[in-house]
Amino acid sequence: MTIILKNKETLKYDDFFLKCCIGKNGLTKTKFEGDRKTPKGIFSLGNLYFRKDRNSKPITKLKCIPINKKMGWCDDPKSKKYYNKLIKVSKKIKHEKLFRKDSKYDLLIPINYNTKQTRLGKGSAIFIHLTKNFKPTEGCIALKKKEFLILLKLINKNTKIKII
Q: Which one-letter DSSP state was computed for residue 106?
A: S
Q: What is the pLDDT of residues 117-151, one digit of tens each?
A: 999 999 999 999 999 999 999 999 999 999 999 99
Each domain of the chain, given as residue ranges in start order, spans 2-72+98-163
**Which of residues 90 and 53 earns the better pLDDT score?**
53
Ramachandran sector of residue 139 (left: φ over 0; alpha: ψ -120 to 50; beta: rest): left
Query: Using CA atoms, how far apart are residues 116 and 76, in angstroms rounded to an integer?
Result: 17
Confidence of residue 1 (pLDDT cuts 50, 70, 90): confident
CATH architecture for segment(s) 2-72+98-163: Beta Barrel (2.40)
Does residue 109 carry a pLDDT above 90? yes
Does residue 91 carry a pLDDT above 90? no
In the chain, % of residues over pLDDT 70: 100
Pairing, β 160-163 against β 2-7: parallel
Which residues have CB under 8 Å from 76's CB, separation 6+? Answer: 82, 83, 93, 94, 95
